[in-house]
Copies of this chain bind each other. A is one copy, B any other.
Amino acid sequence: MAKSNKPALFTCLSPALLHLYDVKSSIVVIIDVLRATSTISTALANGAKSIVPVDSVAECIRIGRQIDAVTAGERDGKIAEGLQHGNSPFEYPQEFIAKKTLVLTTTNGTRLLHMALEKGAKEIVTGAFANLSAVCAHVSKKNLPVILACAAWKDKANFEDTLFAGAVIDAVGDRFSIHCDASQMAHIMYSLAKQDLFEFMKSKNASHYHRLTGFGLEKDIKHCLTIDTAPVLPIYNDGKLIKGTI
């Protein structure tokens, strides 16, 4: 295997595996396609001032009061008790969210973001199909090691986050040195799925597809699997996610 000067890229399939990677040197791309990171991109693209990711419902309520912000979040796919809004990108159109701050807590995505923060990530951005091209442009330009960190579902690997990792690798993988079977597997999966991500999730009996369609959220899934609907780069800075320069 020839040594390469390209930066390394890894895919971390579950938050429970994050400790295996060199978080401190890397851009960590937090991936929670259904639906936290899709919603984060959408809210910022629709003019939200910033998004404050918090890891508990209590914290969400407390900060929401303190800074007069919109509080939102889910636990197990439903709006968490005590919060105003849920985790659907459709809840955040421009006429509602523009110039507002959103305080958000979710089962998997915001928890993973805090884990990356605690481990001293060099930079944290969020990725979803909604902002695929923005993420790809950013990580290509920076020339730093990258960890594609899947939020998964309660630490179990899932299709949609793995597929997004594969989509990034499909687009810009050749700019990185990839010696990581999880990345290769993600890329293979995406190559099979990319013609129709929704049909793929449906036909492969994806667990999250079933969980969310059970709540009547097929429309959300379709939207979250559509590429570049919210072409912004959410970047973490001083406690909040703001729109970064691409």
Residues of A within 8 A of B (CB): 1, 13-14, 16-17, 20, 153-159, 162, 178-182, 184-185, 188-189, 192, 204-208, 210, 214
Tell whether, in the assembled complex, residue A182 and residue B157 are in contact, meaning their CB atoms are under 8 Å apart.
yes
- A206: chain B residues at CB < 8 Å are 181, 184
Query: A158 to B13, alpha carbons, bound, how many Å?
Result: 12
Q: Chain B residues with Cβ under 8 A from A181's Cβ?
A: 153, 156-159, 162, 206-208
Query: Are A17 and B20 also in contact (CB < 8 A) when A159-B181, A180-B156, A181-B157 are?
Result: no
Cβ distance A159 to chain B, nearest Cβ, rounded Å: 5
Rounded to whole Å, the gap between the CB of A125 and the closest CB of chain B is: 23
Number of copies of this chain that the complex holds: 2
Q: Can you list 23 A-B contacts with CB-CB less than 8 angstroms, sorted by A residue number? A: A1-B210, A1-B214, A13-B14, A14-B17, A16-B16, A16-B17, A16-B20, A20-B154, A20-B156, A156-B180, A157-B182, A158-B181, A162-B181, A178-B205, A179-B210, A181-B206, A181-B207, A184-B204, A184-B206, A185-B189, A188-B189, A188-B192, A192-B192
Interchain CA distance A208-B16 in the complex, whole Å = 22
* A185 and B162 in contact, given A1-B214, A154-B20 (Cβ under 8 angstroms): yes
* A179 & B207 in contact (Cβ 8 Å cutoff): yes
Indicate if the CB atoms of A159 and B180 lie closer than 8 Å: no
Q: B182 touching A204 by the CB < 8 A rule?
A: no
Closest to A182 in B: B157
Q: How far is the CB of A103 from chain B (nearest CB, A)?
A: 29
Q: Chain B contacts of A210 at CB under 8 A? A: 1, 179
Query: Is there an interface contact between A156 and B188, defined as CB atoms closer than 8 Å?
Result: no
Q: Which 8 residue pairs of A and B lie closest in terms of their CB atoms, listed nearest first?
A: A158-B181, A159-B181, A157-B182, A184-B204, A1-B210, A181-B207, A179-B207, A20-B155
Contact assessment for A185 and B214 in the assembled complex, using a CB-CB cutoff below 8 Å: no
- Contact call A17/B159, Cβ cutoff below 8 A: no
Cβ distance A74 to chain B, nearest Cβ, rounded Å: 19
Question: Shortest beta-carbon distance, A169 to chain B, in Å?
Answer: 12
How far, in whole Å, are A214 and B1 apart by their CA atoms in the complex?
Answer: 9
Instruction: State whether A180 touches B155 (Cβ < 8 A).
Output: no
Q: Which residues of B contact A207 (CB under 8 A)?
A: 179-181
Chain B proximity of A211: nearest CB distance (Å): 9
